[in-house]
A and B are shown apart, each in its own frame.
Chain A
Amino acid sequence: MHELSLVASVFDVLEEKAREHGATRVVRVVLKVGVMAGVVPDLLESAFDIYKKGTLADGARLEIVVVPVRTRCPDCGGEAVREDADFSCAACGSRRIEIVEGRELVVEQIELET
């Protein structure tokens, strides 16, 4: 439930990039949010809508790309998209599994008006 503080970090990035590119407005923000990032996309959207009022992103559209958990097995090299909390390798049963994707929380892209 720390979505509002994460949105504050999003706005730090927006302000920095707008300044860098001499932009007057932010019209679109794309966030990549892993399923296991520990945040709820709906709450991020609500927090974004509250936070953006009166800022350079007032009226901006937030797009959230949800990234599923993808694992890689260091023993057999098998990759898989996981929907459960069982992190054993589906191919060889190994328990030594690496999470390749699905924990990220990234500002991927922004659209600026200049």
Chain B
Amino acid sequence: MSTKTIAVVRDLLATNKQAAAAIRQELRSRGILCVNLLSSPGSGKTTLLESLAGRFEGRYRMAVIEGDIETERDAERIRAKGIPAWQITTGGACHLEAKMVGKVLGEVPAAIDLLFIENVGNLVCPASYDLGEEVRCVLLSSPEGDDKPAKYPQAFLSADCLILTKSDLLPYLPFDPAKAAAEALAIKPGLRVFTVSALRDEGMDALAAYFVEALARLRSACA
């Protein structure tokens, strides 16, 4: 009996990266903009999507993939707005992986402009998993505190866009949007920052326009 040491150098996330690349390619060829929403639980991802559904109605066709540990609740809220939605229940897993999204993708109708993926509420693990999206948004709500970017740098580092949510609560909380934005920009220069209240419909025009611009860019690049 003898032992031998072999060099392997295998990326543990390689399988996920391959699945994500296949999703990205498929969605680009279908001209669909995919947006991955990351945040802590309760920071307003579903409410943001409900607000966007109203805003895009009659102009852009939207679909949503919901990720949660349990229940269909979020998908039901989105369907109530007349938007097709698929619920992935991970049964305990703390993040969505590309292969979970890949399984649902075949059911997404061809005539869609924007596909939003609402990740499992968690500001840590989802950051490591590419889902094949074009745009990654991190949401940070005012009750969570403006000190979060430096505490969870990976999520902000991997994002294209920061959405500061629940701005209607700012008068009651010691949350400084400028501080939160500056902290996030120190980690990821070039991050686009939006401050919104989905509930009060404030700041949503600029955010919706950002997604529409990204969709136009994707279609002109893939045309």
Contact = CB atoms under 8 A, between A and B. Distances in A.
Nearest to B153: A85
Contacts of B93: 2, 5
A1 B124 CA distance: 8
Contacts, number: 88
Nearest to B124: A38
Q: Which of B10, B127, B187 has the most CB of A within 10 A?
A: B10
A49 interface: no
A39 B149 CA distance: 18
A81 interface: no
Contact of A2 (B5, B11, B125, B149): B125
Residue from B5, B8, B15 having most chain A Cβ neighbours under 10 A? B8
Contacts of B4: 21, 111-112, 114
Interface string B5-16: 111111111010
Nearest to A105: B12
Provide the main secondary structure of the chain B interface.
mixed
Given A2-B93, A95-B189, A108-B8, A113 B3 contact: yes
Question: In this complex, which of A85, A96, A105, A107 has the most chain B Cβ atoms within 10 angstroms of its Cβ?
Answer: A85
Interface residues of B, number: 31
B153 A27 contact: no
B207 interface: no
Given A2-B94, A6-B12, A38-B127, A113 B187 contact: no
Contacts of A97: 189
A27 B10 CA distance: 18
Contact of A106 (B3, B9, B187): B9
Contact of A38 (B8, B15, B128): B128
Contacts of A111: 3-6
Contact of B12 (A1, A10, A88, A99): A10
B8 A37 contact: no
B5 A109 contact: yes
A46 interface: no
A104 interface: yes
B186 interface: yes
A111 B125 CA distance: 30
Given A95-B189, A110-B8, 20 more contacts: A1-B94, A13-B10, A17-B6, A27-B3, A36-B157, A39-B128, A88-B186, A95-B186, A106-B9, A107-B8, A107-B9, A107-B10, A108-B7, A109-B8, A110-B5, A112-B3, A112-B5, A114-B2, A114-B3, A114-B4
Interface of A: 1-2, 5-6, 9-10, 13, 17, 21, 27-28, 36-39, 85-88, 95-97, 99, 104-114
